[in-house]
Structure 1
Amino acid sequence: MRYNYKSSFEDLANEIFYEIIEYLDFYHVYKAFFNLNQRYQCILTNSIYPIRINILAMSKSNFEHYYNDIIIPNKHRINKIRLSNLFTINIIFSSSRFICKYLQLETLILDNIKSKSLENILNHLSFLPKLNSLTIHPIDYIQNPTIFYLKLFRLPKLKFCRISYETKQDNKEHLMISSNYFSSIEPLIINARFPIDELDNLLSYVPRLHRLTINSLKEFDRKQKDLCSITLKHLKYLSIKIDSIRFKKLEILFKYFFQHIQILRISTNSNIEFLDAKQWEQLILTYMPNLQTFDFYHDGLFCIMCIRNPLKFHETISQFNSSFWTERKWFFTHQHTSHKTLDCGIFYSIEPYSKQITNNCLNYFPNATEVTFKYSFNAFENSISMALNHILPLIKLTKLTIEYCSFPFEQLLQLLSFTPNLNILKFQSISFNQSNFMLIQQNETFIYVSKMNQVKSLDVRESCTLECVEMIMNLFPQIEYIKTGLNKKEIEPIGRFLFSKINKKISKLLFLCISYTPKIYLKKLKTFIKLENLLDDYFIDLVDYNLCIWR
């Protein structure tokens, strides 16, 4: 006798359900199960299991439901919060009383936070007994980085810290050498311009430091002071980008701070003295006896102190082929932008196993998911995609950044046709071979890309016209976030197009950030939205000339 047994997801034990949702974004679990039945609602709200909050792209109404149903009643369960919307940050951390209730919070990531909100939040994070990881990226300028650092160093349990910020001018209030309190931070990543003459002061607060990364270590035009030597016996990894610093000054840094380094990744530019192999050999032998990895990158494409002689340039870099370097298995190569720039170029480290195959174009990065174009290059329409596919799998790319101006639109379309999983696209400006946007949109590649691409976040630095915005929305129908400049004369018709209730093509757009916007447009746009009845439920704010709208 045969029996047919049928089972459903609802037959699973609670313990199995908890194991499954461990692998899912909690918001997706909430959307799928919270309103399904009473049992799942109780499981999600009455559990003792930790919750990870990850709010990147979400409509205002969906966020408010999630906030009221999950976040407010479960503050005590949340062990990770990641936010990238300045409005959601303001809501979740609306008061000191709320901040202090996140007692299980271990990891906090705040992207696009207002600097004023950040000051308030930092004042109260010290009350969170388990907070050990903090990542911060303000949307506007930090007025006083010194106060910012002092508040970070007072967080008692903090182990990991990544901070990114910009300042408008040289800070007049400087860090002082620490004498009474010290931070527990071990990896510290600073994505900002940091003054070299304050480095000793900074390092005095972090005696347990294991890894240090500074995106831009710079020598400012001000009165120099003598640096104080600090022993950092735990610091084994150093990654720095040198900006306007002489080699002799760099030598002092290693003498005073970095004698225990085992891994060094260093990037320099402009100054040809950094290509003096003999200087590097002496520096390493004298101050870095434990160095195992030397990862060097020198960008001399816009060199001020260049060797105006191709033969001399190649003779200089050939010094890095001596036995000192080869015995340690530290190998290098170089590139020129064209045959006209043979007296300068990019000089950089390569992995030992790549030494024999570099010239055969076999440098392949199978796990790469992001790529950035820093400089222009000449290529036929299809050749960029073909060349890149020999270096990395384009199908795996999720983020593409183009940092130089006037990238040909035809080449962008070709790239997009090979990157179906791209989520984030950033570029400075795009050049068009023809000005007729209707003809561009009839192109077969345009139509194909518009149907298959998954781009949800777009950042365009140049100002766009209404016609250009319409074409962008047709090309990227899945778009949720846009940051761009807009033609101020067309800001109202562009607003009408983007937020019209009858325009279903742009229904997925949740967040708009308009760059370089004068303060007067905040009031103008509020009035326009009300008069046109474009949005019923939205937030709008102006932060350092970035006009942000969230709906």
Structure 2
Amino acid sequence: MSDYDIQHRSSLEIFPDELFFELFEYIPIYDLYRTFFGLNQRINCILENLSNLFAEWTTNSDDEIIDKFSSCISRLIVWRGGYLNLKRFHKVRSLKLCLPTIEQCNEIQPSLTLEHLHIESSGNKNTITDQLSLLLLTNAFPRLRICRIDEIKFDEENFQQIPTLHTLITRTQSPEKLFSLCPMLTYLRLNLKENISESLEFESHLNLRHFELGIYSTKITLSTIETILSLIPNLTRFTLDGPCNPPPQNKIDICSLAPLLTRYLTNLRIIHISLPLNDNHLDPKEFENEKELLKKLHPLFNQIIFRSRSYYAPGRLLISSITDNHKSTRM
């Protein structure tokens, strides 16, 4: 061992363990491994007992380093495919699969520590959803607070509530059951592809404050939107992303939607709406006279924009409660 190494090691020995525990959590695990692992027994012991490390797993070449710190990682983002052996990460509180496979999702098991679960969209949505839906419906993650998953399927009538979940991005054919499953939700992004039954009796969800509704099918009717809005009376923020297809294919128009907002969402403060325009409406100048009429439909329709159609998409009607002047005063 050189004099430099001896001096370097001696310099490290003067610092207390508590300082290393705090500093090491701010250093990327790859730098920790290359710089400190194997330096001496004391440093190795500290490294092996860390509990709040972040790791972004991108390629198979990272496997050795990931394995060394698997019991220390609390936040894990995975970009690589193949088998992950997720059971090693027993301290993980946040898990994100960016390129999920069926096999990877099947590795996810009940966890007492998981608080944030993010599964990106996949070509194998249905198969992946089956496994994860079952875990969610049985409250396999009792500390889960934030979740993003393609779809939650309610194949069984009985399910356990998830009282800790407050933020959710998903798709489901049973919004009414979703509200019952997650009674404490404050934010929900719901992507709809099918209408819901209007003959059922639903209970209101009183905790939801921020709701984003994505319409991904021209089959969705105004009555389905009305049913959902009637269940969430305490909303303060609402976003509607209408379908890509312009009228007459889609069944949602702003003149019919505005009265529903007035009737059901009396606490609304912020609103954003995006709807497709008819192919006949190609010139934004034609709508200048209509802007004032649209603003009268609802007190929050403060900003009206008609976006011209492009080569790839039809024109769109954009409505917002936040004007450019308001944005500039807040910045």
Partner of 1:148: 132
- Alignment length, in residue pairs? 311
Partner of 1:86: 81
Structure 2 residue aligned with 1:267, among 226, 229, 241?
A: 241
Partner of 2:3: none
**Alignment gaps of 5+ in structure 1:** 1-5, 94-98, 166-170, 366-551
Deviations 1:217-272 (A, max 9, x none): 1227xx966344122111111012112223233122212x2222111111113345
Say whether 1:18 aligns with 2:13.
no
Partner of 1:211: 187
Q: Give 1:337 shift.
A: 4.6
Partner of 2:56: 55
Scaled by the length of structure 2, the TM-score of the pair is 0.77
Q: 1:113·1:137 contact (CA, 8 Å) conserved in 2?
A: yes
Q: 1:114·1:138 contact (CA, 8 Å) conserved in 2?
A: no
Partner of 1:510: none
Partner of 1:351: 322
Partner of 1:289: 266
Report the AA paired with residue 347 of structure 1: L
The higher-RCO structure (CA 8 Å, 6+ apart) is: 2
Q: Distance in 1 between matches of 2:240 and 2:144?
A: 26
Report the AA paired with residue 241 of structure 2: S
Partner of 1:333: 305
Q: Distance in 2 between matches of 1:30 and 1:178?
A: 49
Say whether 1:175 aligns with 2:154.
yes
Q: 1:213·1:239 contact (CA, 8 Å) conserved in 2?
A: yes
Q: Distance in 1 between matches of 2:114 and 2:22?
A: 24
Q: Which of 1 and 2 has greater Rg?
A: 1
Deviations 1:117-139 (A, max 9, x none): 313x34xx32x222222112365
Report the AA paired with residue 187 of structure 1: T
Q: Distance in 1 between matches of 2:122 and 2:262?
A: 43
Scaled by the length of structure 1, the TM-score of the pair is 0.49
Report the AA paired with residue 242 of structure 1: I
Q: Distance in 2 between matches of 1:334 and 1:307?
A: 9
Q: Give 1:293 shift.
A: 0.9
Which shifted more, 265-274 or 246-255?
265-274
Say whether 1:187 aligns with 2:167.
yes
Q: 1:177·1:201 contact (CA, 8 Å) conserved in 2?
A: no
Q: 1:178·1:201 contact (CA, 8 Å) conserved in 2?
A: no
Q: Distance in 1 between matches of 2:320 and 2:37?
A: 52
Q: Distance in 1 between matches of 2:60 and 2:158?
A: 48
Say whether 1:161 aligns with 2:161.
no
Secondary structure, aligned partner of 2:120: strand
Report the AA paired with residue 282 of structure 1: P
Deviations 1:25-59 (A, max 9, x none): 223222221144444323212x3x31324133345
Secondary structure, aligned partner of 1:241: strand
User: Pairwise mapping of residues 451-462 of structure 1 onto structure 2 (< 5 A)?
Assistant: none
Q: 1:146·1:175 contact (CA, 8 Å) conserved in 2?
A: no
Partner of 1:230: 203
Q: 1:78·1:104 contact (CA, 8 Å) conserved in 2?
A: yes
Indicate the RMSD between aligned Cα atoms, in angstroms.
Answer: 3.7
Q: Give 1:324 shift.
A: 4.1
Q: Distance in 2 between matches of 1:109 and 1:310?
A: 42
Q: Distance in 1 between matches of 2:158 and 2:59?
A: 45
Q: Give 1:106 shift.
A: 1.9
Q: Distance in 2 between matches of 1:182 and 1:112?
A: 28
Structure 2 residue aligned with 1:247, among 218, 222, 225?
A: 222
Report the AA paired with residue 110 of structure 1: L
Change beyond 3 A, Cα 1:313–1:251: farther
Deviations 1:378-402 (A, max 9, x none): xxxxxxxxxxxxxxxxxxxxxxxxx
Q: Distance in 1 between matches of 2:186 and 2:288?
A: 37
What is the aligned-residue identity percentage?
A: 17
Partner of 1:32: 35
Report the AA paired with residue 254 of structure 2: D
Change beyond 3 A, Cα 1:107–1:313: same
**Alignment gaps of 5+ in structure 2:** 1-6
Deviations 1:162-192 (A, max 9, x none): 1147xxxxx9xx62575452123221112xx
Partner of 1:133: 116
Say whether 1:111 aligns with 2:98.
yes
Deviations 1:416-443 (A, max 9, x none): xxxxxxxxxxxxxxxxxxxxxxxxxxxx
